[in-house]
Amino acid sequence: MSEKDQLTTHNYDGIQEYDNPMPGWWIMLFWGCIFFAFPYWLYYESGVPGRSIYDQYKEEVADNLRLQFAEIGELQLNSATVYKYKDDPKWLKVGESVFQMHCVACHAEKAEGKVGPNLTDDYWIHVKEIGDIATVVEKGANGQAMPAWGNRLHPNEIVLVAAYVASLQGSLPEGTGKPPEPNAKKIGPWQAPAAAEGKSDTESAPKAEQDAAKKQPES
């Protein structure tokens, strides 16, 4: 028996094993994995700009939003737009998903109020008309007790979550959920905004010109 094929002293039911060193390629692979693991871990955790899992997630979300909102374009944050979508089941589902992702922690799953106020009753502090809901979502309120979401949500998401919240008015029996704040004021059902709201200056110009022409004295 050669010196290379030395046997161990162990004996398992008459079976013995060689006591040979590990192959050189295996040892190199082992140490190579160890030296590779640490820098790869640093790269995986921090990476390069745009390489992190969070950056990739944001990019995927942005791409998905572009595809999702291609049908409706970029919505305006005004009463006319919010009122239009508060009765649209298809887009209310999008607003509901935004609400469930970002709002339930403070307003609870059914918007009955938790840390934040009840959004299903008729009592509001910063809202007088339906478009004010979008403004509060965008800019925040109460010294940022209600955080501003304008820099974190797509404008369409703000409109649609505002429309979803507006659609919840009266969705729970009166007296259900968190009681209104002492300084909250009761408002009636959402009113359709003036037809002119939400129109572009170009759309409004012809009417303004017609009105001006009517006021001119005839020669």
Q: Which of 4-8, 39-43, 73-77 comes out lowest in average pLDDT?
A: 4-8
Q: Is the domain defined by 75-194 classed in CATH 1.10.760.10?
A: yes
Which segments within the chain are labelled E, that is strand? 123-124, 185-186
More confidently predicted of 179 and 62:
179
Helix (H) or strand (E) holding 56: helix 53-68
Angle at alpha carbon of residue 135, lines to 149 and 99, rounded to 5°: 50
Residue ranges per domain, the chain? 23-71, 75-194
More confidently predicted of 55 and 115:
115
Side-chain-side CA neighbours of 112 within 13 Å: the count stands at: 10
Q: Enter the pTM of the model.
A: 0.64
Q: Give the pair of three-digit tokens for residue 88.
A: 């649209």
pLDDT at 80 over 90: yes
CA distance 131 to 78: 5
pLDDT at 218 over 80: no
Q: Please write the tens of the pLDDT for every residue from 200-216.
A: 443 444 444 445 544 45
pLDDT at 88 over 60: yes
Q: Which residues contact 158 (CB under 8 A, 6 or more apart)?
A: 77, 134, 137, 138, 149, 150
More confidently predicted of 117 and 197:
117
More confidently predicted of 192 and 203:
192
CA distance 133 to 42: 44
Which value, to the nearest 10 degrees, does the dihedral of the CA atoms of residues 120, 123, 124, 128 take?
Answer: 100
Q: Please write the tens of the pLDDT for every residue from 101-124.
A: 999 999 999 999 999 999 999 999
Look at residue 207 in the predicted model and tell me its pLDDT: 47
